[in-house]
């Protein structure tokens, strides 16, 4: 039963990351679709402009797009915004880096020793779904409103994302490849380096990409609720100060950061996995 369950979760862990045929199709369609995409964005912006102007939604709830853009331009000229962006990105980057390093190390060790995997799986299954925001009060007590509080949330949330993927990846190792490596007398380290690592890498990269998005969510939540410096804090201040356009402008900034993070990680994924069939197929 436990192997069946393990297998079941392993296969559904995959679909997010690996969909070679759909990726290929979108590639083929790509040249023709961007005008539609541009049109979609323009219509979206136009709706945001028109709806408040017509009074369908009061302007104090949703200012017209042009006012948001103006507020954004004004904010972009002030150093305060860039400090806030810097603070958020600092918490995001440090937290993500620590979480990824720890998760890869722990995952490879646990995943390569069957006994450890069996002994820890119940604990992992229990700890993983604990919402990281449950730690907010604890973080506040321990670290106050410093960056450490936010870091704690970011690390906890991203750690599990990566760890689970590493464990799937390590278990996905082809037994024939492993036996081959053994008959060539590769040592434990050699086997990890040349068999386990390349097998697990696509999973790890997927995990890191998911964790990067989660880390941003938690960095912003931490700032919003705890009040450590950063974009989240600026947003809650803009809201309580009644600066609605500024608040929307800051939300747009967080969205842009999110898009940027997604794009960068997809690019890194393609680079790192250029040898992997799921990516190789896409390039043809």
Partner 1 sequence: MTDILRRTGLALGLPLVLFVVWWVTSAGSENFFLPPLADILAAFTATWTADRFAADVLPSLVRLAAGYAIAAVLGIALGVLVGSLPRVRAAFEPVLEFLRAIPPPVLVPILMLIAGIGDGMKVAVIVSGCVWPILLNTVEGVRAVDPVLADTCRSYGIGGAARLRHLVLRSASPQMVAGLRQALSLGIILMVISEMFAASTGLGFTIIQFQRSFAIPEMWSGIILLGLTGFALSLIFKFFEARVLAWYHGLRRAERGRS
Helix (H) or strand (E) holding 183: helix 175-183
Q: Which is nearer to partner 1, 33 or 83 (CB)?
A: 33
Q: How far is the CB of 89 from partner 1 (least distance, A)?
A: 13
Q: How far is the CB of 270 from partner 1 (least distance, A)?
A: 17
C-alpha to C-alpha distance for 167 and 190, rounded to whole angstroms: 19
Strand (E) positions, 149-249? none
Q: Which is nearer to partner 1, 167 or 192 (CB)?
A: 167
**Torsion angles phi and psi, residue 128, rounded to 5:** -60, -50
Q: For residues 280, 281, 282 and 284, what is the CA-based torsion angle, rounded to 10 degrees?
A: 90
Q: How far is the CB of 69 from partner 1 (least distance, A)?
A: 14
Q: With contact defined as beta carbons under 8 Å apart, do 167 and 113 qualify?
A: no
Q: Which is nearer to partner 1, 39 or 101 (CB)?
A: 39
Q: How far is the CB of 130 from partner 1 (least distance, A)?
A: 4
Q: How far is the CB of 238 from partner 1 (least distance, A)?
A: 8
Q: With contact defined as beta carbons under 8 Å apart, do 48 and 62 qualify?
A: yes
C-alpha to C-alpha distance for 248 and 62, rounded to whole angstroms: 8
Q: With contact defined as beta carbons under 8 Å apart, do 84 and 237 qualify?
A: no
C-alpha to C-alpha distance for 210 and 93, rounded to whole angstroms: 14
Q: Which is nearer to partner 1, 204 or 219 (CB)?
A: 219
Q: Which is nearer to partner 1, 126 or 275 (CB)?
A: 126
Q: Tokens 């609720």 belong to which residue?
A: 225
Q: Which is nearer to partner 1, 192 or 202 (CB)?
A: 202
Reduced to 3 states, what is the DSSP secondary structure of residue 227?
coil
Q: How far is the CB of 259 from partner 1 (least distance, A)?
A: 4
Q: How far is the CB of 144 from partner 1 (least distance, A)?
A: 12
Helix (H) or strand (E) holding 284: none
C-alpha to C-alpha distance for 76 and 24, rounded to whole angstroms: 38
Q: Which is nearer to partner 1, 78 or 123 (CB)?
A: 123
């Amino acid at each position: 039963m436990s192997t069946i369950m393990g297998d079941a979760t392993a296969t559904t862990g995959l679909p997010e990351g690996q969909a070679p045929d759909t990726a290929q199709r979108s590639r083929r369609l790509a040249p023709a679709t961007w005008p539609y995409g541009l049109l979609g964005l323009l219509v979206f912006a136009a709706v945001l402009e028109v709806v408040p102007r017509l009074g369908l939604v009061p302007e104090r709830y949703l200012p017209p797009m042009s006012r948001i853009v103006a507020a954004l331009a004004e904010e972009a000229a002030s150093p305060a915004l860039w400090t806030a962006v810097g603070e958020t990105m600092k918490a995001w980057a440090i937290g993500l880096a620590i979480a990824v390093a720890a998760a890869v190390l722990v995952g490879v060790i646990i995943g390569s020793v069957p006994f450890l995997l069996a002994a820890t799986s119940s604990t992992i299954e229990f700890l993983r779904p604990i919402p990281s925001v449950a730690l907010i009060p604890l973080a506040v007590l321990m670290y106050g409103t410093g960056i450490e509080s936010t870091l704690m949330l970011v690390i906890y949330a991203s750690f599990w994302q990566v760890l689970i993927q590493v464990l799937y990846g390590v278990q996905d190792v082809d037994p024939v490849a492993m036996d081959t490596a053994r008959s060539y007398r590769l040592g434990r380290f050699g086997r990890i380096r040349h068999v386990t690592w390349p097998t697990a890498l696509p999973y790890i990269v997927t995990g890191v990409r998911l964790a990067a998005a989660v880390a941003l969510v938690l960095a912003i939540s931490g700032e919003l609720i705890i009040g450590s410096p950063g974009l989240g804090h600026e947003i809650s201040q803009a809201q309580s100060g009644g600066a609605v356009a500024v608040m929307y402008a800051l939300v747009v900034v967080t969205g842009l950061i999110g898009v940027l993070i997604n794009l960068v990680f997809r690019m890194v994924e393609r680079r790192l996995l250029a040898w992997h069939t799921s990516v190789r197929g896409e390039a043809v």
